[in-house]
Structure 1
Amino acid sequence: MVDAFEQWWDGVELWLAQLAFPFQFALLMAVLLPLCLGVARLIDRVVDNASTRFNPVPKVPPPGAEPQPGKVDPARPS
């Protein structure tokens, strides 16, 4: 199984090496650009989820909401 994969990969590598440079570049961009974009989005989501998990955003009441009893609102003079 591994030997068959190695032979296939050698054939692909030889085919790619024999292409003209503009075709190599176009093929590389067609494969690597979406792959890198997908990996970057995955990393962004993982970091975003980790940062919200370890540093949660405090819950702020909506503007105009009544203050809770027993809590001092510094914005309202007493």
Structure 2
Amino acid sequence: MFDGLATWWDNAELWLAQLWFPLQFLLVIAVLAPLCVGAAWLIDRIVDRVAAWLRPGRDEDVSSRS
């Protein structure tokens, strides 16, 4: 199974390496842009949840001001 996957990957890599550079660029951007946007969205959600979890509650915040 891994031999088949390695052969497929080598063929795909060779095909991409032989393309005209602007086409290579467009293909890489078409794959990486959605991945980067998705990763940024996921990181944003995780940071928001952790920040909300670490933030003191409203009752604690109001009582400490008095």
The TM-score normalised by the length of structure 2 is: 0.82
Q: Which has the higher contact order (CA 8 A, sep 6+)?
A: 2
How far residue 22 of structure 1 moved from its aligned partner, in angstroms, is: 0.5
Q: Secondary structure at the match of 1:19?
A: coil
Q: Which amino acid aligns with 1:35?
A: L
Aligned pairs for 1:1-78 (under 5 A) are 1-58=1-58
When you count helix as a share of all residues, which structure comes out higher?
Answer: 2
Q: Runs ≥4 in structure 1, deviation > 3 angstroms?
A: none
The size of the alignment, in residue pairs, is 60
Shift in Å at residue 2 of structure 1? 1.4
Larger Rg: 1 or 2?
Answer: 1
Would the alpha carbon gap of residues 57 and 33 (structure 1) be closer, same or farther in structure 2, given more than 3 Å must change? farther
Percent identity at matched positions?
53
Unaligned 5+ segments in structure 2 are: 60-65
